[in-house]
Amino acid sequence: MSTERTPARRHPVRWHTGGPGGARRLLGRLRARLEEQQRAETHRMLEADMRGLWREACTGVGLCQYIDVAAGLTVRTPRFGALRLGRSGSSFTVELMPGGEPQDIEAHAPRLAHSLGFAGLRVQPVAGRWVRVVLHHHDPLASMFRLPHTVIGRADEAVLLGRAEDARLIEHALASPGHIAVQGQNGSGKTQLSYGLLAQLAAAADVLITGSDITGLLLGRVWDGSAHREWQVTGSRDLVAHAEHLDRLVAWMDQRLDAMPPRQDSITPTAQHPLVLVALEEFPGLLRAAQAKDRKLAERITSAVLRLLSEGRKAAFRVLMLAQRFEANAVGGGYARDQFALRLSFRVPADSLVMLHGDDARSLGTEHANAAPGIAYLSAPGHDCTRLRAAYVGGYGAFCDRIARDARRPDRRREDAA
């Protein structure tokens, strides 16, 4: 007896996923895995190249230690960690040498970045002795930096000064202690910086922008209709008016100091007791004009400014002084110059840079004497001679438009000096 066997039906291969298109999906996964392996290999090769360049660059700038061992002389540099590549930029971690600080790398940042093939770098602390070195493909100082269309609402909010050479934004809160000195030749950018500062402060409820301006451009007509205008004196025809206005501000300061509450040594700005920013545009020119007319008038102006500088911090007064050159006899003496905590220098001769920023800036003098408009050196608590590109408002017309749009309007009920 025989039987016929029915052949077993062969099922199609379903690969790993089964269903139609399984082979195509598998090939896609294999291709993606191969590309990932190629990327990883490329990353390892690039990381090895960067590690070698970093070691050579650190040795070249002297950021190393020479260790004499039996086998010979060994060079030790900050240890290269891991390279990170991303759309927002490239960076790598570094372990500092014993006793090292992030500032050791920052001191050689331009030369290290150039050796690595980048325009600049900045250092970010991570943990312990580890830091992250962030690389910049483009020079942050090379291109114009537009001031965003923003204003602050309070004196303790930071205003934007500019962008540093490591691409960090440099900001300053007016309520923090310290007066502001800005110097620079004509066309170097100091007036543009002032436009940006005042445009950001114009709407603050607890800031009053006052001052003296013999040019009539920074202050004056542009502020017509605002709460600030009656506290501003402009022009050079009536120099006595400038002296009287500064005396008025000193009297207001004295009034605040006399009314200081017990157990309190400073005033916190409020809408009723605003922080008073005293802008002195081309102050040396005002002094020269006053000296030519009446020496006693010049002494009166100098005396008032010295009092605002020396006593204004406690009474919520801040002085913003602008000059082409901060030599002692042009700004009321060396004592007056020493009262400025935040100092910015646009293009000036080397000796002028040292005059305002001290001997630490001497090595920068030759380079900065030919700096492009808008580039300044800044020294302040926490910032030792940092280069920055000042924020650009967009010209005088744009400054006028911002003041007309944003400046706070008068409110007669809340001025404690009325």
Residue list for the binding site: 184-191
Torsion of CA 233, 238, 244, 249, to 10 degrees: 20
Letter string b/e over residues 7-39, b meaning 16 or more CB atoms within 10 A of that residue's CB = eeeeeeeeeeeeeeeeeeeeeeeeeeeeeeeee
Bridge partner list, 80: 94
User: Which of 417, 355, 340 lies closest to 172, judged by CA?
Assistant: 340
Angle formed at CA 234 by CA 233 and CA 236, multiple of 5 degrees: 125
Residue 340's contacts (CB-CB under 8 Å, 6 or more residues apart) are 178, 179, 180, 181, 309, 319, 321
User: Distance (Å, rounded) from C-alpha 387 to C-alpha 170?
Assistant: 10
Please provide the DSSP assignment of 223-268 as one string. Answer: GTTSTTGGGEEE-SS-HHHHHHHHHHHHHHHHHHHHTPPTT--SPP
Q: How many residues does the chain have?
A: 418
Terminus-to-terminus CA distance in the chain, angstroms?
A: 126
Annotated binding site for ATP: 184-191
Residue with tokens 């790993």: 16
Eight-class DSSP state of 1: -
User: Which of 354, 338, 346, 322 lies closest to 181, judged by CA?
Assistant: 322
Side chain identity, residue 63? L
User: Which of 112, 58, 389, 130 lies closest to 122, judged by CA?
Assistant: 112
**In this structure, how many other beta carbons lie within 10 angstroms of the beta carbon of residue 95?**
15
Phi, psi for 187 (deg, rounded to 5): 80, 10
Side chain identity, residue 370? N
User: Distance (Å, rounded) from C-alpha 341 to C-alpha 362?
Assistant: 19
Radius of gyration of the chain (CA): 31
Structure token pair of residue 325: 């050159």
